[in-house]
Structure 1
């Protein structure tokens, strides 16, 4: 193993308590571990790489990482989800749910998404995908293949097949109902347990296991109670989406007689192992105190909610109460810099000023907060003994403007693809913006073909099964009918 040294005009180190900025900084690593952070390394190095005017920093941690060809973006200005076939209709359920992708296409979506995560400076990911276009939930065999893709690309991942015991659907009268299948839910949990035992720590510890039930309203009490017990037995991180919609809150209160967070507390699911996206709709300070007292982490995904005019009440006030925040992308694009920027602006709008939430708060959530949520002190920071998960962001871009503070410049004007190099576990997984071993052109063309297939599947789930092209409105109307029958993939994005 070579001893590698990286240099740049700016470097984010860690002094044991906080991130600190080094000018003309250096980081030296040997194998998977960092040996030195600072300036003037006194030892010998097999290879020095000088990135010039750039920011070397810790890799970002994305705990609601888009692992999909995102279907959420299709809701943008396309009307009510009940009409566009994203969620299940009663008609679809009665005819029998089905897969929209082949098994090979299911695995491909992860290859595409993981490449995008690396491309955006994310070195640790806990992926999320949609269950709406699945026949049910994810499978052991599927995730055995996904683990292989993550290891091949070199992405540090927390994996496990998603499981659930129910699915929401729309009745013909426009009301929301729920379909339950407890046996399927328990079988899914058993598969998740087996995956954890087989894959946790695999591929030189690049792959870790996690318990990933779908959403609080799609899981029965028995499934969640068994999840809580298994999380304790395995010391496994557990992620559960909750408090993300008014309909969810109303449904949980109707079914369980408690707010979502009160219900999770009763089930023993508010612990330091618990990662909870998104926490938008809570029942006041009592709910927040439950989170703090239990030691659970909120995974904040500001962009996906802002698109629908929703936002966390106060990032800064929650943090001041002792809440640990991590960040997630959840939707396209997989750009945590964009989530930091928009998260900062949204927080200040919600808080009516700039005193409660800072630039550094958002950066900490994407690094130190994510590591804490996973119970780790060896990632999310650059310090001797830590994992060599390192990113390099170019500071020479004209769009960044005159450089006055590397982190502020990036959060004000940067984008994920300013990341020009990435090292994970000491392996260079991206150089000069190119993820190693990936043909970007072929990847994008396959994604385009597959996304059209996803769009077509919306017709199956919509009432009356209308022509799929009528479900998606362009931002501006077409001038003629030229495109009416043309597949979207005929518009090659790479030409």
Structure 2
């Protein structure tokens, strides 16, 4: 290594070095999470699991996420962001693709602590809601989301990062396909082409969205995006699960073929959807069509170890084959394939000229011993505690669970307080005025007796 770059990969003694560090660690590329919401994800624990969501086809989007998001203050979101930065670094992620508000704060903290980040300030034309727990309706902004779009363009313009010298790079995030107008999306594509920045949009993420888009346009979400010129190699589809030919939609067509032909990538978040009984059908099937499938952390737990492991296991179960969802394929999706979509030949790999974004894995722990095949050990067995250190841009930013520059103990205390305040005010944001315990009952009732 020299500075923030890898300069040579080979056997000891092949080159002269000013300093030699001997280690028994497995040294691997840092993970790249292609889908994060760091400003709110930590508070999802305990409110997103085991709930009857039949009316909305198992999604959390309609009844769970709106009251959660509405309850969070800016200070709450900043607490969540700091906790999320630590969580990603502790689980081996060195680059995130973050979508949400407060982008300047997120950029400042990522740069200060040392997490490489692609950040998109979210915007949309409106939002969904339910007023009766039965139907999904939409509320539209008078300006079609123009003010928020301009703020997002300003952020992206200030963080183009063409020379790759900074940790933070901007991109565009029109939030969801069903909450953005055609005009807003066409403006997004024009700015993306002009600045040369990426786009990520949530699409094909729920059956309610799929139904709404076919009702509006007579086209699936993917077909509609393709028809207005949004599918290309600068576009990333967040989720991309509810597509033609899947068991969820029972709808003919070739959405995956359209995605593949356009060179568009898909960011898959297997753990988050699997706990709601939803899965990509399948990781291998998409890839066999030529679609680049990447992995993200999305809500909670924000661990690419979870994402790789669940992507592999779910694919094996759905394909009914032990040689499906291979460790190599999910590891590549979490590293080099993600870097390729980001147009970064200096990330996601260890080779001369690559950035020194590295993870150092113990080989003497319960979960990593014995190690015969490092990649299989990491994908199927490793835990966060097996990561001795995480390096970003040539600097150690996490060692033995401690993230430099963050008071994680205080942040976790603040997170608990934030969550308790959110729970206590749940009825103020729920459509039916239910308390948190009425809406999402604890497993064994009241724990405070």
Q: Give the alignment's TM-score, normalised by structure 1.
A: 0.82
Select which of 147, 156, 163 maps to 2:107. 147
Shift in alpha-carbon separation, 1:44–1:431, aligned structure 2, 3 A: farther
Match of 2:404 among 436, 440, 445: 436
Alignment partner of 1:483 is 2:443: no
The equivalent of 1:45 in structure 2 is 17
1:75 corresponds to 2:75: no
- 2:168 pairs with 1:207: yes
After superposition, residues 94-173 of structure 1 pair within 5 angstroms as 99-128=70-99, 138=101, 142-172=102-132
CA–CA separation in structure 2 for the residues paired with 1:276 and 1:41: 45
The CA distance in 2 between the partners of 1:372 and 1:424, in whole Å, is: 18
Structure 1 residue 171: deviation in Å?
A: 2.5
Q: For each residue in 1:25-49, what CA deviation from the matched residue of structure 2 results, as whole angstroms up to 9, or x when unmatched?
A: xxxx111111011211444434333
User: Which residue is equivalent to 2:339?
Assistant: 371
Is the contact made by 1:100 and 1:457 (CA closer than 8 Å) also made in structure 2? yes
Corresponding position of 1:260: 221
Larger strand percent: 1
- State the 1:321 CA deviation: 1.5
- The CA deviation at 1:411 is 1.9
The 1:182/1:126 distance shift into structure 2, 3 A limit, reads: farther
SS of corresponding position for 1:270:
coil
User: Which residue of structure 1 aligns with residue 277 of structure 2?
Assistant: 309
Unmatched tracts of structure 2, length 5 or more: 246-252
User: 2:148 maps to which residue?
Assistant: 188
Change (3 A) 1:239 1:417: farther
Distance 1:175 1:437 in 2: 46
Residue number in structure 2 paired with 1:62: 33
Aligned residues: 435
Q: Tell me if the contact between 2:71 and 2:429 (Cα under 8 Å) persists in the aligned partners.
A: no
Q: Contact 2:91–2:303 (CA<8 Å) still a contact in 1?
A: yes
Could you tell me whether the CA contact under 8 Å between 2:367 and 2:386 is conserved in 1? no
Cα distance in 2 for residues equivalent to 1:103 and 1:357: 40
Q: Distance in 2 between matches of 1:255 and 1:417?
A: 49
Provide the residue aligned with 1:33 in structure 2: 5
Structure-1 separation of matches of 2:122 and 2:306: 27
Q: Is the 8 A contact 2:83 2:408 kept in 1?
A: no
C-alpha separation between the residues in 2 aligned to 1:378 and 1:390? 12
SS in 2 for 1:428: strand
Secondary structure of 1:33 counterpart: coil
Alignment of 1:87-486 (within 5 A): 99-128=70-99, 138=101, 142-172=102-132, 174-183=134-143, 185-201=145-161, 204-284=165-245, 286-478=254-446, 483=448
Shift of 1:469: 3.6
Counterpart contact for 1:87–1:461, Cα < 8 Å: no
CA RMSD of aligned residues (A): 2.5
Report the Cα distance in structure 2 between the residues aligned to 1:300 and 1:466, rounded to whole angstroms: 32
Structure 1 stretches of 5 or more lacking a match?
A: 1-28, 130-137, 485-495
Whether contact under 8 Å (1:314, 1:350) holds in the other structure is: yes
The residue aligned with 1:6 is none
- Contact preservation (8 Å) 1:335, 1:415: no
Q: Please give the secondary structure, in 1, of the residue aligned with 2:335.
A: helix
Q: Distance in 2 between matches of 1:347 and 1:376?
A: 28
**Residue in 2 aligned with 1:17?**
none
Return the offset for 1:72. Answer: 4.3
Point out the more displaced range, 460-469 or 232-241. 460-469
Say whether the 8 Å CA contact 1:336–1:416 is kept in structure 2: no
d(CA) in 1 for partners of 2:425, 2:217 = 33
Shift in Å, 1:259: 0.6
